[in-house]
């Protein structure tokens, strides 16, 4: 045991505490890894510290998470880009642990480092890493592999590119649903690195495999990637390849497919509208939208299955559809909306099922600001007032809707909205 100089005591303690029994102390040391690295110097960091970290791979998750995070910004401490590849082994280990948050952070860091690496190093080190992970014995490694392909692909020589596409395609058909889910989630990202010639063939066939998977959660995630894929294809290819999948999908929607698939579909289709342009949107997307408005089931249940954080605003398919109608109206203008959306929406106000009528009111409240006061007063509000006779609908939808409209900037809208509110109260009082 060597005694260090007293002034260096704190650093020495910091280093020793990397292996302290107290997790808080270990965490503290890991979070200050950069200081330890500078105290050791670049060469010793590369030769001693990094291997040391590689071996600490069975520590508590919190510690591993902190480690994965630190390593992602460690390039300066190992001597710059030229030495970035020494950071890969510990991250490779961390990207295969079973705690998801650690894995995801490790993949994040791998991508961060990979995107800075020189081409030669990518070919020599990063790509073999990606191949090893995708051939991992445990599903955990294969899940992580899906997240780094988009980095590995770009700088690969052509032969290797073919190999990588083939490996990804196998990941899309992996035995484990977790791996297939990861493949589906990352398909969009991967596709952005692929040449257009291969997009239409390899990627689209992976996409189709995934949209026909028998696991709900996999199909859902594949549909998510529609919008991303749509942006990469020419509009006519979009119409030719992606739309049929969506249309088929939406035809299944009537009874067989899960409702959160449909909900995601609603949002995704919106992403496609700008790409397709007005005509194709009217011809293909609108019918789907309107059928989603009539969707039977009020709840999108299980975001947990697919962990759809990005869709957390959406609570129902009809809500999604209503929101998307509003966005369409914004995109293409009130005149267009008046011609193509409003009539169909208003038609539904007379639907015997009260949930349909509720949806209409929701859509109306969203469209009103977009359509402008004239249309709102002349077309939308009367429908609202008619529906106000419906007890069930009144409290849940109409009143909030009208309260919103009673605060509209336009004086006429406010007037009519308040009128409506009063008449509701009268009806309520007298019955």
* Distance separating alpha carbons of residues 369 and 326, to the nearest angstrom: 9
Is 82 one of the binding residues for another protein (CB under 8 A)?
A: no
Q: Return left, alpha or beta for 80; rule: phi > 0 is left, psi -120 to 50 is alpha, else beta.
A: left
- CB of 20 or CB of 193, closer to another protein: 20
* Distance separating alpha carbons of residues 22 and 324, to the nearest angstrom: 52
Is 315 one of the binding residues for another protein (CB under 8 A)?
A: no
Is 20 one of the binding residues for another protein (CB under 8 A)?
A: yes
Is 199 one of the binding residues for another protein (CB under 8 A)?
A: no
- CB of 55 or CB of 234, closer to another protein: 55
Span 123-182, contacts to another protein by CB under 8 A: 138-140, 176-178
Is 19 one of the binding residues for another protein (CB under 8 A)?
A: yes
H/E stretch holding 357 reads helix 354-371
Is 81 one of the binding residues for another protein (CB under 8 A)?
A: no
Q: Which of 54, 62, 73, 100 binds another protein (CB under 8 A)?
A: 100
* Distance separating alpha carbons of residues 370 and 323, to the nearest angstrom: 12
Q: Which of 81, 154, 305, 385 binds another protein (CB under 8 A)?
A: 305
> Would you say 293 and 345 are in contact if contact means Cβ atoms under 8 Å apart?
yes
Kindly report each contact of residues 103-108 with a partner whose C-beta sits within 8 Å and lies 24 or more positions away, as own/partner: 103/140, 103/143, 103/144, 104/147, 105/65, 105/68, 105/69, 105/72, 106/68, 106/71, 106/144, 107/144, 107/147, 107/148, 108/68, 108/72
CB of 66 to another protein, least distance (A): 17
- CB of 54 or CB of 406, closer to another protein: 54
- CB of 120 or CB of 301, closer to another protein: 301
Q: Which of 154, 290, 302, 348 binds another protein (CB under 8 A)?
A: 302
- CB of 139 or CB of 207, closer to another protein: 139
- Residue 7: partners with Cβ closer than 8 Å, 6 or more residues away: none
Among 36-44, 184-192, 335-343, 379-387, the segment contacting another protein (CB under 8 A): 36-44
- CB burial class (10 A; 0-12, 13-18, 19+) of residue 430? exposed
Is 89 one of the binding residues for another protein (CB under 8 A)?
A: no
Is 255 one of the binding residues for another protein (CB under 8 A)?
A: yes
* Distance separating alpha carbons of residues 308 and 172, to the nearest angstrom: 19
Distances (CA, A) of 199 to 125, 137, 173, 284, 353: 26, 29, 18, 23, 44
Take residue 140 and report the two structure tokens written for it: 């955990």
* Distance separating alpha carbons of residues 318 and 298, to the nearest angstrom: 7
* Distance separating alpha carbons of residues 48 and 51, to the nearest angstrom: 6
- CB of 158 or CB of 256, closer to another protein: 256
Is 18 one of the binding residues for another protein (CB under 8 A)?
A: yes
Size of the site for another protein (CB under 8 A): 65
Q: Which of 76, 80, 82, 98 binds another protein (CB under 8 A)?
A: 98
> Would you say 380 and 334 are in contact if contact means Cβ atoms under 8 Å apart?
no
Among 52-60, 350-358, 361-369, 383-391, the segment contacting another protein (CB under 8 A): 52-60
CB of 114 to another protein, least distance (A): 23
Q: Which of 31, 32, 200, 294 binds another protein (CB under 8 A)?
A: 32
Is 215 one of the binding residues for another protein (CB under 8 A)?
A: yes
Among 32-40, 161-169, 326-334, 423-431, the segment contacting another protein (CB under 8 A): 32-40
Residue 136 backbone dihedrals phi, psi, to 5 degrees: -60, 145
> Would you say 398 and 384 are in contact if contact means Cβ atoms under 8 Å apart?
yes
* Distance separating alpha carbons of residues 83 and 74, to the nearest angstrom: 10
Q: Which of 31, 81, 96, 238 binds another protein (CB under 8 A)?
A: 96
Provide the mask over 344-383, with x wherever binding to another protein is found by CB under 8 A and - wherever it is not. Answer: ----------------------------------------
Is 62 one of the binding residues for another protein (CB under 8 A)?
A: no
- Judged by the rule CB under 8 A, the positions of this chain that interact with another protein are 1-16, 18-22, 25, 32, 34-35, 38-45, 48-49, 52, 55, 58, 96-98, 100, 138-140, 176-178, 214-217, 255-259, 297-302, 304-305
């Amino acid at each position: 045991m060597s005694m260090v100089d007293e002034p260096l005591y704190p650093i020495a303690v910091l280093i020793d505490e990397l292996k302290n029994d107290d997790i808080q102390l270990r965490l503290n040391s890991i979070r200050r890894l950069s200081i330890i690295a500078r105290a050791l110097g670049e060469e010793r960091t590369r030769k001693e510290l990094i291997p040391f970290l590689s071996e600490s791979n069975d520590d508590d998750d919190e510690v591993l998470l902190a480690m994965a995070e630190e390593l992602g910004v460690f390039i300066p401490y190992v001597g710059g880009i030229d030495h970035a590849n020494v950071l890969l082994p510990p991250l490779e280990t961390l990207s295969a642990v079973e705690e998801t948050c650690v894995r995801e952070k490790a993949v994040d860091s791998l991508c961060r480092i990979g995107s800075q690496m020189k081409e030669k190093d990518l070919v020599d080190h990063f790509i073999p890493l990606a191949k090893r992970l995708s051939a991992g014995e445990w599903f955990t490694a294969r899940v992580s592999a899906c997240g780094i392909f988009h980095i590995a692909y770009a700088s690969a020589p052509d032969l290797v590119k073919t190999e990588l596409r083939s490996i990804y395609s196998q990941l899309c058909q992996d035995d484990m649903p977790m791996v297939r889910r990861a493949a589906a989630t990352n398909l969009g990202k991967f596709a952005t690195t692929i040449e257009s010639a291969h997009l239409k063939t390899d990627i689209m066939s992976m996409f189709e495999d995934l949209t026909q998977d028998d696991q709900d959660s996999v199909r859902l995630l594949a549909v998510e990637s529609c919008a991303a894929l749509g942006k990469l294809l020419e509009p006519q290819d979009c119409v030719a390849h992606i739309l049929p999948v969506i249309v088929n999908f939406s035809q299944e929607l009537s009874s067989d497919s899960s409702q959160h698939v449909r909900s995601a579909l609603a949002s995704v289709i919106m992403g496609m509208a700008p790409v397709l342009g007005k005509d194709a949107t009217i011809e293909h997307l609108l019918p789907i939208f309107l059928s989603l408005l009539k969707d039977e089931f009020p709840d999108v249940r299980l975001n947990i299955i697919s962990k759809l954080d990005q869709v957390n605003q959406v609570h129902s398919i009809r809500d999604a559809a209503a929101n998307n109608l509003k966005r369409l109206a914004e995109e293409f203008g009130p005149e267009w909306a008046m011609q193509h959306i409003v009539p169909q929406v208003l038609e539904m106000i007379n639907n015997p099922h009260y949930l349909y009528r509720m949806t209409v009111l929701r859509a109306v409240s969203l469209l009103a600001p977009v359509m402008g006061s004239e249309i709102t007063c002349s077309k939308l509000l009367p429908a609202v007032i008619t529906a106000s006779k419906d007890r069930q609908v009144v409290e849940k939808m109409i009143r909030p809707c009208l309260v919103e409209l009673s605060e509209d900037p336009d004086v006429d809208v406010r007037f009519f909205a308040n009128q409506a509110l009063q008449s509701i109260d009268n009806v309520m009082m007298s019955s």
